Amino acid sequence: MAKRKSSKPLETHIKELEAAVAELHECAACGKPIAADATTCPHCGTPVREAAELH
């Protein structure tokens, strides 16, 4: 596997990824991660509001 050079230090890249993951929510219907602003789950197709009402 070829090494990829990055202009950012690894620690900065890790912090950016951690922030992106922290913004994810869990679908109430299937439990998979979804974007905080999603209107439907990209995995199961359940509308986010409808899934939240199930629980």
pLDDT tens series, the chain, 55 aa:
566 666 778 999 999 988 888 888 999 999 999 998 899 999 999 998 755 555 5
Q: Which residues pair with 47 in a beta bridge?
A: 40
pTM equals 0.55
Query: Can you list the positions of beta strands (E) in the chain?
Result: 24-26, 33-35
